[in-house]
Amino acid sequence: MKGTALKRLWTAVDLRNRLLITVGLLVLYRLAAHVPVPGVDRAAIAQILQSSTGAGNLLSLFDLLSGGTVSRFSVLAMGVYPYITAQIILQLMVPIIPAFKQRMEEDPREGKQFMERWTYYLAIPMASLNAIGQIRLFQSSGLPIIPHFGFSGENLLPTITTLITMTGGTMFAIWLGELISEYGIRNQGLSLIIFSGIVSGLPRSVGQLWSDEQTRYAGLALFIALVAITVFAIVVVTQGRRNVPVMYPGRRIGRRQSMPVRGSLPLLVNMAGMIPIIFASAILSFPAILAQFFTQSQTQWVRSAALGMQDLFANQQNPGYITIYFFMVVLFAFFYTDVLFQQQNYGENLKRVGAQVPGVTQGAPTQRYLNKVLRRITLPGATLLGTVAVLPLLIGLMFVSVTSGSNAFFAIGSGLLIVVGVVKETFFGLETELKLRGYDESLLVR
């Protein structure tokens, strides 16, 4: 059955072209990931990444999530994360700024285009700020990776050139992601860009576990168990749903009036998918980068606060970081679900077609009822997602005292959830495309 679906997927000309375009653009992205920033000292970068400091751990995580672009200090070293950070900021501003909220409510389609346009505008300064922070994060270890970096004297022109190069690389990656969403696999562009970077770095992390002879087999056994638990948990969370009963009005056919039809409205336990994981990872890396601007401050309390923030957010071995990461995943799961559900406005849509939830008034009361139900079922889904997100970090924390491969566990855990989630959503998207073309069997064995 699966082979038949794959054959149908390949014989459908438009789907085959979309797959080939997606693969071609991902190959182009990976080729561009090997283009280094001019003037970078790669030997100093390798020495910093091998250290066990908080900055070294954070940069190792960045290196995995970017597919090795940080260790090469490529023009794509920041990936698409500045765009994601800009997206988070604007979505947080929608309920705060009345003009944004009114624009989204009056015309959702125009409001979506408005948000996308301003996300691109905001991504440019965010990318420049991220580039400065990332370079300072490297240079805080005492090994300058770019000898002439600064905003004074003869260093100004090389510094501006470096920032323009890195910002341009980020915008190029975003552009490739948009091309994939438009001409390749629909609505999966940025996710596949992140996915390709993580997958290319996973073999190296597994090799790091294998290189530690003391705990080689225990580490690999835990890794396999971690993969199995992660896949199972993601499938359970994404498949869970609550079917809300809905009565649709009967239709008049000639002189006859048909009986009302009983249907259901499925509400997903995890409507946000893997977006909370990506959002939490992106937003938690930002404070550590921002702290780099104040670690050399002449004011004692400012310097102490910056060093404390760097130690908290740049070190995944810190129990405080693990706790914050868990609550951030849960918070973003609720936030993103609420944003998506409000945009769909089921209360008014059901009222427009004459449908009604039994015992609930049509319109705004229906929307409030559905919001209440959705928040109740989102709580266990978000909690399970947060638990699975921090589980690799807890396992890596147990390995800190016995193996040098603990850093690999931190990196594997941060990327594994995204990889599994993106693969599942991509296959579900392909399954939907097949069904639209008349293929009615499941693409995946669930």
Q: Angle CA(85)–CA(26)–CA(78) in degrees, nearest 5?
A: 30
Most confident of 162-176, 279-293, 325-339: 162-176
Residues 252-264 have a mean pLDDT of 68
pLDDT bucket at 15, cuts 50 / 70 / 90: confident
**pLDDT of the residue at 413:** 57
Residue 336's closest CA among 381, 284, 298, 291?
381
At residue 268, what are phi and psi to the nearest 5 degrees?
-75, 145
Residue 400's closest CA among 386, 391, 410?
410
Interval 78-98: pLDDT, tens = 888 888 888 878 877 877 777
pLDDT bucket at 404, cuts 50 / 70 / 90: very low
**Cα dihedral sign, 26-275-75-182:** positive
Query: CA 26, CA 438: separation in Å to the nearest integer?
Result: 29
Residue 388's closest CA among 154, 187, 231?
231
Considering just the CA atoms, what is the radius of gyration of the chain in Å?
Answer: 24
- CATH class for the domain made up of 2-436: mainly alpha
Number of residues assigned to the chain: 446
Q: How far is the CA of 2 from the CAs of 18, 188, 419, 430, 433, in angstroms?
A: 20, 22, 21, 13, 15
Query: CA 74, CA 81: separation in Å to the nearest integer?
Result: 15
**pLDDT of the residue at 442:** 46
Q: How far is the CA of 92 from the CAs of 100, 335, 384, in angstroms?
A: 11, 9, 24
pLDDT bucket at 403, cuts 50 / 70 / 90: very low
Q: Compute, in degrees rounded to 10, the torsion defined by CA atoms 430, 432, 436, 438.
A: 80
The pLDDT > 70 percentage for the chain reads: 81
Query: CA 435, CA 427: separation in Å to the nearest integer?
Result: 12
**pLDDT of the residue at 6:** 66
- Asked whether residue 345 carries a pLDDT value surpassing 70, the answer given is yes
Residues 271-294 have a mean pLDDT of 76
What is the overall mean pLDDT for the chain? 77
Residues 2-28 have a mean pLDDT of 79
390 and 325 in contact (C-beta within 8 Å)? yes
CB within 8 Å of 189: residues ≥ 6 apart: 176, 177, 178, 179, 180, 181, 182
The pLDDT > 90 percentage for the chain reads: 7
Largest distance between two CA atoms of the chain: 88
Residues 295-303 have a mean pLDDT of 78
Query: CA 247, CA 117: separation in Å to the nearest integer?
Result: 39
For residue 145, what are its two tokens? 């990776």
Lowest mean pLDDT across 1-15, 47-61, 190-204, 311-325:
47-61
- Asked whether residue 68 carries a pLDDT value surpassing 50, the answer given is yes
Lowest mean pLDDT across 30-39, 43-52, 68-77, 378-387:
43-52
- Asked whether residue 402 carries a pLDDT value surpassing 50, the answer given is no
Instruction: Report yes or no on whether pTM surpasses 0.75.
Output: no
Q: How far apart are the first and last CA of the chain?
A: 13
**pLDDT of the residue at 386:** 85
